[in-house]
A = this chain, B = another copy of it.
Amino acid sequence: MNDVRITRVMTNLKARGLMQIFICDPMSIKWLTGYYTLPFERFFGLLLAADKEPVMFCNRLFPDASGACTNVILFDDTDDPIPLLADQCLHDQALGIDKELAAKWLLPLMHSGAAQDYLLASDAVDGARSIKDTAEQQAMRAASATNDKAMAWLRSQVKAGVTEFSIAERLLAEYRRLGAQDHSFEPIVSFGANAADPHHEPDNTVLQDGQIVLFDVGCKQDDYCSDMTRTFWFAGEKNIEPDDLSYRVYETVRQANEAAEAIVRPGVSFAEIDKAARDVIAAQGWGEYFTHRLGHQIGLVDHEPGDVSSTHDEPVQVGQVFSIEPGVYIPGKVGVRIEDLLIVTEDGCEILNSYPKEFTILH
């Protein structure tokens, strides 16, 4: 049980006028208690309430949680866990609800008389998780350092005749060799026009001379995630020069990436950072081809709440870690994305990826 983190969550909660919250996100529970289990379809959660001991609700099938939480309520598959939770709530108060709580639990809970009202309150937890402490920052530096090395390995795999899938399937072994434990998400390897689909899944596409090669990959190392994207030009044996459009798109995306990174410092809003990149791309007339938010926060999982987008007006804070990943996707033609992670510092930011971003031609 991490009392400092629980206090940070309760402070956030009280600032929102709430005295209690039911948390079911397994990663948030791990972050608060050290206990981790993946409940799949089963009920699992942690109730935090003012002036009460935290209570964890666990199926007996899960590993023993007693080391992480002194107050564990156990149940079997044949028990209904909702009355057990309702019984522990402050009935005369509103209950903060985890944004991921499934309807199958929430609707019966709302009929149980557990609380006066049910209000989304994950931002109290997510806001606390968003500010990484010193140990977390160190873990994220290490995971991104591994990712930089993996990108060098990926680049070395680019050769005529290779398929997207054959590179992607060997990346995990390389991550493990470098000290990571797993992917932080399924790797994206895209050749040619496949790069114009931002979420393309690696398939049996064979690399041709004169194609774009895009890698969007991340590892999980000591519980923390990395995530970066680099885009290359493969000239091949025929030494096919990059076409003008591909080159101009690349340079624009790189400038957008750097323009956004350049303005990050405490007090600047996520929306302003998004705009810094978007303006560079829009100035070239490609605004409609930058179809996603600029970035996302990251930590114990690869996508954490609080995105870098035009609708997120809050200022960034010291210790937050997020991606800067502008992209331009012209369907059937060109796709380029360049992504780094960074940590917000007192006077700017620390970019966690050092792998070069200059336009690079591979042979």
Q: List residues of A whose CB falls within 8 A of some B CB.
A: 40-41, 60-63, 76-78, 97-104, 106-108, 118-120, 122, 197-199, 291-293, 303, 305, 307, 309-311
A41–B103 contact, CB under 8 A? no
Task: Name the B residues within 8 Å of A78 (CB-CB).
Answer: 293, 309-311
A243 to B99, CA, bound (A): 50
Shortest distance in angstroms between A196's beta carbon and chain B's nearest beta carbon? 12
B118–A107 contact, CB under 8 A? yes
Shortest distance in angstroms between A177's beta carbon and chain B's nearest beta carbon? 14
A104 to B97, CA, bound (A): 9
Q: Return the contact of A61 from the options B103, B106, B198 (Cβ within 8 A).
A: B198
Assembly stoichiometry (copies): 2
| Nearest residue, chain B, Cβ from A40 | B303
B101–A291 contact, CB under 8 A? no
A122 to B104, CA, bound (A): 9
Q: Return the contact of A99 from the options B62, B100, B103 (Cβ within 8 A).
A: B103
A63 to B99, CA, bound (A): 25
Shortest distance in angstroms between A194's beta carbon and chain B's nearest beta carbon? 12
B100–A120 contact, CB under 8 A? no
A40 to B199, CA, bound (A): 12
Q: Return the contact of A106 from the options B40, B103, B119, B305 (Cβ within 8 A).
A: B103
Sample (6) of A-B pairs whose CB atoms are under 8 Å apart: A40-B303, A41-B305, A60-B291, A61-B292, A101-B102, A103-B106
A61–B122 contact, CB under 8 A? no
A107 to B106, CA, bound (A): 9
A122 to B307, CA, bound (A): 31
Shortest distance in angstroms between A185's beta carbon and chain B's nearest beta carbon? 9
A197 to B63, CA, bound (A): 8
A106 to B119, CA, bound (A): 11
A307 to B99, CA, bound (A): 27
| Nearest residue, chain B, Cβ from A310 | B78
Shortest distance in angstroms between A210's beta carbon and chain B's nearest beta carbon? 26
A78-B309, A100-B102, A102-B103 known; 18 other A-B pairs, CB under 8 Å?
Answer: A61-B199, A61-B291, A62-B199, A63-B197, A63-B199, A77-B292, A77-B309, A99-B103, A100-B103, A101-B102, A101-B103, A102-B102, A103-B120, A104-B120, A104-B122, A107-B118, A107-B120, A108-B120
